[in-house]
A and B are shown apart, each in its own frame.
Chain A
Amino acid sequence: MIRTGLLAIAALACLQGAALGQMHGKHASEAACEEPTLRCATKATPAFGPDGTLWLVWMAGGQVSVASSQDEGRSFSTPTQVTTKRLNLDWGPDARPKIVVDRKGGIALAFSTFRDEAFNGQVFTTRSADGGKSFAELKPITASNESQRFEALALDQDGTVFAAWLDKRNRIFAKEAGQKYEGAGLFFTSSSDGGTTYADAKLAREGTCECCRLGLAFAASGRPVAIFRNIFEGGVRDHAVMTFTDVATPGEVRRVSNDDWQINACPHHGPSLTVAPNGTYHVAWYTNGKARKGLFYAHSRDEGRTFSSPMALGRPDRNPTRPFVLAGAAGTVMVWKEFDGEKTSVQMTISRDDGETWSPPKTISSTTDTSDHPLLVSNGKQTYLSWMTKADGYRLKAIEDQP
């Protein structure tokens, strides 16, 4: 009897050990493998250079690397490692490394890490002046030691790099004054030397949602525009755009739509923005508000003062997520993910009349395991889907002209 009891106890202890051991098992990871190679990446971000070279920055194995492709992503150059050691990279659902490639071929990067055990973030930047062969030592984007996350980069025609991010530096002052501090501040800076040095950080807007990616573009030369999940009166986390007067001066906060999503939570699901050559703002976002739920698209032809009625995207029974919109030569393209219980697909729709009408959505890619957000990238002539998947690796797929 005692023997049986002992065995049972020993078996129980083993089961406990097995359960803990499983937590570190491979199947539990978002990554296919743990090396810094592209195959192991969880997030990959593309940009075309002026000569048509595709550049890709990715995070894998705690490192950030860059490589280029001359054959539409079928093969890549030997990667250049941007980081010199394994870092605690921000692995939040909406975090990813950012890249812009200027007209001279200079490459500016930005990404965030968790700087402490409380998951406060820090944004780093670096630049390559030798065509991606080497990158400068990482520099914090700001001297502040408070939390920064969700950086975004955009490149102006004159080569100015504009950066925006979410920053909690004013939390401490609110606390000292006994005031409630909600969300984070939208901060920004710019670099006139291609991302080597950045100006002092400035506040654009306090009280924005702290855990969603930003959308960033240029409305016209010298005039950046950002879309972000704002916190409106009563804790309503709806979207807003801000068109900056210039790269050093913020503009007004203009509401995209009145979704009425009052929630004290981290949606982990940020918006997307592109500006067409004629100045139309195209935006896509997720909400779970009282007024509407799901993914939506709208456009503005007056710099965000007014927006068209929100248009729903995707099949509600397939959990549409992660919208991305890009105005390209052949039209304005939108992609998003849907999930049918077993596999994730990327849905695509295209508008050839500046957002007035859209083609029926079409599945352009799918995978049976976890995947990065679907992104769009253009070389000026052709728009591509850029999608990192765990099961099938990295994919670059031309968006066909005919829907």
Chain B
Amino acid sequence: MRFRFVGIAGLVVLIASVAALAASPALKPFERGTWQSVLRGHAGRPVLVHFWGVTCGPCKVELPLLGQFAKDHPDVDVVTVSADLVPNLPAATQSMLDKAGLSSTENFIFNDGFVERLRFEIDPAWQGDIPRTMLISREGTVTTIEGSAEIADLEKWSAQQRSKH
């Protein structure tokens, strides 16, 4: 009896901790190959990938607007990538995501000191300016918005995605 109780209590604790992780998923490391796996993982669905960083002024303004967009558009997979150069700051990154209402989206943080190589995998022409948003349609067409995105443009794109299906 006693053993069984301990076992169940342990199970409850584990399930609770996993549930907590699921509710606020940890930042995932963005490394070599991550970009391709993100593309594969969301293939066939409209995806919005937002690159930002904690030291970028315009990003601070845009992030909460993106949080609201994600909430209003459950049909769009929103993915964020903190693309500041390392030493990157997971705690500050998570805190800004939480405040912007982006706790439950799929959130990455650059985790390779060779940042040129990471950026080259995503877009060889990208020199690191942030914010930057890539809209990927169901068919895989990529639309890149350099600088802060206008939410009206995101709305328009998302409506186009819906109308196709």
Q: Using a CB–CB distance below 8 Å, which chain A residues touch chain B?
A: 2, 5-6, 9-10, 12-13, 16, 19-20, 22-23, 25, 27-31, 91-93, 117, 119, 210-211, 262-269, 286, 288, 293, 316-317, 319, 321, 337, 339, 341-342, 344, 369-370, 390
B 96-148 contacts with A by CB, 8 A? 109, 111-117, 120, 124-132, 146-148
B28 and A339 contact, CB distance less than 8 A? no
Given the interface contacts A19-B28, A29-B87, does A369 sit within 8 Å of B54 by beta carbon? no
Tell me if B112 and A269 are in contact (CB < 8 A). Answer: no
Task: Give chain B nearest CB distance to A168 CB in angstroms.
Answer: 9
Residues from 1 to 36 in B contacting A, C-beta threshold 8 Å: 7, 10-11, 14-15, 17-18, 21, 26-29
Choose among B15, B90, B129 the residue that contacts A288 (Cβ–Cβ < 8 A).
B129
Residue pair A28, B127 in contact (C-beta under 8 Å)? no
Determine which of A20, A29, A265, A269 lies in contact with B58 in the assembled complex, contact meaning CB atoms within 8 Å: A265
Query: B89 → chain A, closest Cβ, in Å?
Result: 9
- Give B62's nearest chain A residue, CB to CB: A264
- Chain B residues with CB below 8 A from A265, complex form: 56, 58, 129-132, 146-148
Cα(A19)–Cα(B111), bound, Å: 10
**Additional pairs, 19, CB under 8 Å, beyond known A27-B112, A339-B116, A369-B114:** A2-B7, A9-B18, A19-B26, A20-B90, A22-B29, A22-B111, A91-B87, A92-B55, A117-B92, A119-B55, A263-B129, A263-B147, A265-B147, A266-B56, A266-B57, A288-B146, A319-B126, A339-B117, A341-B124
Complex interface: chain A residues within 8 A of B28 (CB): 19
Say whether A268 contacts B111, CB under 8 Å. no
Of the listed residues B85, B86, B113, the one surrounded by the most CB atoms of chain A closer than 10 A to its CB is B113
B104 to nearest A CB, angstroms? 16
Tell whether, in the assembled complex, residue B148 and residue A29 are in contact, meaning their CB atoms are under 8 Å apart: no
Contact of B88 with A by CB under 8 A: yes
The reply to whether A321 and B147 contact each other, CB–CB distance below 8 Å, is no
Chain A residue numbers with a CB within 8 Å of B18 are 9, 12-13
Q: Which residue of B lies closest to A171 (CB)?
A: B57
Partner of A92, one of B85, B109, B146: B85
List of A residues within 8 angstroms of B132 by Cβ: 265
- CB-defined contacts of B109 to chain A, threshold 8 Å: 23
Which of A16, A93, A316, A390 makes the CB contact (< 8 A) with B26? A16
Task: Given A30-B87, A91-B85, verify A370-B55 contact (CB < 8 Å).
Answer: no
Contact B14 A10 (CB under 8 A): yes
List chain B residues, Cβ under 8 A from A27: 112-113
CB distance from B16 to the nearest CB of A (A): 11
> Can you spell out 12 A-B residue pairs with CB atoms less than 8 angstroms apart?
A13-B18, A13-B21, A22-B29, A28-B88, A93-B85, A263-B129, A263-B147, A264-B58, A266-B59, A288-B146, A321-B127, A370-B113
Interface residues on B, range: 35 or more
Decide if A317 touches B124 in the complex (CB within 8 Å).
yes
Contact of B86 among A19, A30, A210, A337 (CB under 8 A): A30
Residues on B with beta carbons closer than 8 Å to the beta carbon of A5:
11
Complex CA–CA separation, A22 to B129 (angstroms): 25
CA distance A321 to B53 in the complex (A): 20
Among A31, A91, A344, find the residue whose CB has the most chain B CB atoms closer than 10 A: A91
The answer for the CA separation of A316 and B117 in the assembled complex, in Å, is: 16
A344 touches B116 (CB 8 A): yes
The listed residue (B55, B127, B131) touching A319 by CB distance below 8 A is B127
| Residue in contact with B54 in the complex, picked from A28, A119, A267, CB distance below 8 Å | A119
Q: CA A293 – CA B129 in complex, angstroms?
A: 13
Q: A6, B87: Cβ atoms under 8 Å?
A: no
Closest chain A residue to B92 by CB distance?
Answer: A117
Q: Is the pair B116, A370 in contact by a Cβ cutoff of 8 Å?
A: yes
A28 engages B86 (CB within 8 Å):
yes
A288 touches B113 (CB 8 A): no
CB distance from A84 to the nearest CB of B (A): 21
B29→A23 contact, CB < 8 A: yes
Judging by beta carbons under 8 Å apart, are B26 and A319 in contact? no
Q: Is the CB of A210 within 8 A of B29?
A: no
- In the complex, are the beta carbons of A29 and B21 less than 8 A apart? no
What chain B residues lie within 8 Å of A23 (beta carbons)?
Answer: 27, 29, 88, 90, 109, 111
Closest-by-CB residue of B relative to A337 is B116
Nearest Cβ on chain A to B96's Cβ, whole angstroms? 10
Chain A residues near B120 (CB-CB < 8 A): 319, 339, 341
Could you say which residues of chain A place their CB within 8 Å of the CB of B29?
19, 22-23, 28
Q: Which of B37-84 contact A (CB under 8 A)?
A: 53-59
Q: Decide yes or no: A266 and B129 within 8 Å by CB, A119-B54, A370-B114 being known contacts.
A: yes
Once the chains are docked, how many angstroms separate the CA of A2 from the CA of B87?
A: 42
Closest to B14 in A: A9
**Does the CB pair B113–A29 fall under 8 Å?**
yes
**Contact status B15-A268, CB under 8 Å:** no
- CB of B92 within 8 A of CB of A211, answer no
- Cβ-defined partner of B130 (8 Å) among A22, A266, A390: A266
B111 to A31, Cβ gap below 8 A?
no
In the assembled complex, how far is the CB of residue B49 from the closest CB belonging to chain A, in whole angstroms? 16
Contact between B125 and A319, CB atoms less than 8 A apart:
yes
CA distance A110 to B27 in the complex (A): 35
User: In the bound complex, do residue B129 and residue A269 qualify as a contact, i.e. CB atoms below 8 Å apart?
Assistant: yes
